[in-house]
Amino acid sequence: NNHTDLLSDAELFRDKTSDLQNQTLKVILFAHTPGITKTNTTDQSGRATLTKNGDNAIKFTGTEAEILQSVAKAMNFRYEILEPKKASRGLYTSLIWEMVGTGADIALADLYYTSYILDVMDLSVPYNTECLTFLTPESLTDNSWKTLILPFSPLLWTIVLISLCLCIVSFHYLARFHIKITEMKKQLGKAKSQSYPTNKMKVITLSMHPEVEKLDPDVKYAMMKEKYQTVRAEGDPVGLYQFSEPVNSALYTYSMILLVSLPKLPTGWSLRILTGWYWIYCLLVVTSYRASMTAILAKPAPKVKIDTLEELVKSSLTFSGWGEINGEFFKSSSDVAMQRIAEDFVLFNDSEKAVDLVAEASYAFYENSNFLKEALVKRQYRFQKQSENESTGLNHPETIARADRTLHIMKECVINMPVSIGLQKNSPIKPRVDKYVRKVLEAGLIHKWLGDVMQNILNAEVQTDDSGNSKALMNMRKFSGAMVALCVGYFISVMALLIEIVYFKKVISKNRDFNKYSRRIETTTRM
């Protein structure tokens, strides 16, 4: 019966993955920042480096290279580096299917934890989450033509215009009120006394006064004016003509808000008090406007950027990305904005070409934010090399970068996507790989390795922040607002002149009381 007894503490299914005894595993990888990046430098400052053997040894580094090296040491295995072949589906999608076809054990490509990939391979526990967003062009819209209205908000402009209209009406009716009061006083005074005498008008002719011919023309004009001008009686209104007519009231009230003084201070204390307080109001408005205008002209022109998904969908850009996995992600989403992106989503296998199209303000490129930062640096570097080849003169990196500043990484993340390491379907090493991935994650090594990968990229990037070192210069673009106002004024003036000419020809000149010598309508009493 000894052969039928159960063996206590017997290890029937021994875990053979704890020590792979220096076996070689096939690792297929694809350069995808920050998981895997290609490098040509030999000194990596102690970082893990994967080398693909061949005619020309290719070196890879990155966060997943560090993870692979740590797991390989813990599980005691070696690795053989493979790269996917170019296919019509693109390198990224080709890697997924080539792993299945070639029987690779591990896939390193910054793989997203999605159902699309889980259908064909296993994924380790996520070691990081990445912000997937769009690289967009900065808006080329220029609002310099609106410079004159930018100092105030629409609400403030509305308040200023309403107050202007109210003051025009107030000045007009107060002026009419004082004219009525003056007329009433005159009518009451006629019953008690005679009106003030005036100089009698005399016809000055050379035959009656030959000495007049020898006088200066200005003196003769003064004599004529004295004969015909009515002497103003005491108490007669002064300056009410400025507001007695609606058109004059509008012009003089508007001129005060431009700090143009009135020709005469109007009669009537109510009108004078209103004028004084209105001048104080105009002073505050004009001072605020000038200060705001100075600030607008003193700072660089604002750049309109796309930072939200709603703004992106409303734009006329075509959405692009690489790998069928990205297109499937948008198609499977139930969000309206995501469905809109899926309708116009275009696949690209060449990231440099995609970034160039983004710079032409025709596309938006979808990728993780770290990859997009690297793409911007590469584009800046290409511009720098191109400038060095074309000319040996001024080719300072900052100058070159500022000539290439139309690209912007959208701040809002479309999704924070978990990232994992790919494994064969039902891979026996998955539990052990998950264990060591968790350990390096809990130790904070993932964050450190990610910083190491992005350090060179961030150091190579020429800063594009305008806040500190850009010069605000007055140029014709900023001055275009004044030119627009001048053109609008000219247009309105010409139209008003044409209307006046037409009205004079069609109405005034055909009136039977029109005097062709004085060029005005003179009403005469007909017998």
CA pair distance 345, 481, nearest whole angstrom: 39
Q: Do 330 and 415 meet the contact criterion of CB atoms below 8 Å apart?
A: no
User: Which residues face 368 on adjacent strands?
Assistant: 132
Extents of the domains making up the chain: 148-196+231-300, 479-527
What's this model's pTM, rounded to 2 decimal places? 0.63
Residuewise pLDDT in 10s, the chain (527 residues):
455 555 566 666 777 888 898 999 999 888 888 998 887 665 555 566 777 765 566 788 899 999 999 999 999 999 998 887 765 455 566 667 777 777 789 999 889 998 888 888 999 999 999 999 999 988 656 667 788 888 999 999 999 999 999 999 999 998 888 888 887 877 776 655 554 455 555 555 555 556 666 677 777 777 766 665 555 555 556 667 788 888 888 989 999 998 888 888 887 888 889 999 999 999 999 999 999 988 887 777 667 788 999 999 988 889 998 877 888 888 888 889 899 999 889 988 788 888 888 888 889 999 999 999 988 888 888 777 776 776 655 555 444 444 455 788 999 999 999 999 999 989 999 999 999 999 999 999 999 999 988 887 777 665 544 444 445 556 666 677 778 888 888 999 999 999 999 988 888 888 888 877 777 777 655 54
Give residue 234's pLDDT. Answer: 55
Strands 23-29 and 106-112 turn out to be parallel
Within 10 A of 312 (CB to CB), how many other CB atoms are there? 21
Q: Do 22 and 78 meet the contact criterion of CB atoms below 8 Å apart?
A: yes
As a 3-state breakdown, the chain gives helix, strand, coil percent values, each rounded to 5, of: 50, 15, 35
CA pair distance 188, 481, nearest whole angstrom: 56
CA pair distance 97, 109, nearest whole angstrom: 13
Most distant CA pair in the chain, distance: 167
* Strands annotated E in 277-347: 318-321, 345-347
- For residue 340, with 0-12 CB atoms within 10 Å meaning exposed, 13-18 middle and 19 or more buried, which class applies? middle
CA pair distance 89, 348, nearest whole angstrom: 9
CA pair distance 500, 372, nearest whole angstrom: 62
What string of H, E and C letters represents the secondary structure of 397-443?
HHHHHHCCCCEEECCCCCEEEEEEEEECCCCCCHHHHHHHHHHHHHC
